[in-house]
Structure 1
């Protein structure tokens, strides 16, 4: 079977994890701060907070920004549910901004139109979460300019995008955002098995997120409400969570970081090869902005359904029947039953909904063999041309 994505684990990765197993710390040891420094060096952000998932990172990022009861968070409907759920965890409210039909990312034009209306109604968002879908960066310069005008904070959901560039600078430098979040799930660009990271240039946000990831407990005297009573002493000064990353995960992440740019380069090689091999088929290959260098977490095709005999579901299932484990990223969040119970409905965000009826994520990962890629392409040819 050919999955749509798969981790690449080497002997050096295994050794890094075994070294931790043989050490005195399996968690809260030196591996986590080392991984954080690896991410800081790559991204050029000032601070990094490692956690157990990107979902946790989104949650504490929202809390660090003070998102709470009645506050609005806006994001894209074309994302995993975590990008929206993070607001609900804080007691906030969620709305969506439709996607750009070329990039599949949150559309800055639609965002501006929605902001104009929200300002009239007194319903401006406190936080906007652009998602760098499939690894391609959003138009962050435009979104940032709107944040300056309308007063919202920005969390970049870069779960797909570590190793990518925006305007020739690393995604994650937070030049156009307040916090950026990365994911290290096994199908992502690099993995720590499970894990996430929030990076920021704000000392205040970094301090708050570090506190929240570990029960709201601190041993830092400056954060305490009364003097330390001894070296054993700690205080809970906030209601936090157990969102810590283990040293085992961090060691794997650090080892993978040494191959990050190689992985992204290989993904581009395979994507470029797909672009050529699929050029004559009745489908749309991923459009790429000149302002960004995608991390290419996903390679998504869109079927030209008016030019083929099969429907979207038939093509998807036929590929899976051939042991090509394609996937679909994403079912628009606002069409999920939980969100429809809030009042969202099919028809609210037509570009995201149209995209969903045509999209298929086909296999793309660094260890994908060209022979496997050829099999994917030949299968698509047979299904779409006959």
Structure 2
């Protein structure tokens, strides 16, 4: 009997879960980061980063085919021993917690700046964690259904970005192409690669997938959806703002909406950000779930609710005793980006090579 059969997800839920984890805080600040490093050629770096993320995603699927009925933790234990599995659980637990921590703290900062300037940080964090409890403790199937629901609810959001273009746009901002040179574009692609983080959760989602033969196709579709979102908001920001002007806005994705007013809504960016919290939750909640999943696996327990309360208490205590700021958040993101390059991009290739060598030597012994 399959170990995770009771919690299986469909291909659509698998696609939208990965896509939801990729589209997080990066949407709000990515156009500025690209403009600062590569000017309006930043969209080319985005395409390069997308191609790299697809390659790594396919490597992860190839790895999981070595042990299709278990997560990466079971795979490590099976091929390299119990203690390697424990070490993997510790590393991924820390990684997912750091990812969750960055997203949820950034969400609190955005809410504090744009919508609730007088509300205490701890209160905002508690309000975010209460609904998270219902989703996170529900398991992978519930998270898949939630990601599917949020995706369909958000299909109308792209219309927001057609309205500013009707007020002002200039496609000449994108010309000339390659004005910054390939060296700058390739260096900037490191920034864009990190924006696609979330595909590494395939290490844990793969055994829950009903039709595992479609895993490669699913993860490619998820990356394509993410690419469409990132490229759309980037191009809108680039043609709306001048190349120099866009770098003055911390969140150009929100600032571009300020020019749009309707008779019944004056500040469209507030409406967008309020609804965008649902999308942010599809990033933060799964990361918290996998943090607890790894901690339970590490200690050999099934105390999901207890571990949730520990994680929740930690992040609430942080915003109470260490008031978060945007510079601190930027520094944390930079540190996490360096870690993610090893965990999400370097580790899959190393593991794939080790597994290939191990299975090859085993076949030689049998021969």
Q: TM-score, normalised on structure 1?
A: 0.25
More helix by share: 2
Q: What TM-score, normalized to structure 2?
A: 0.25
More strand by share: 1
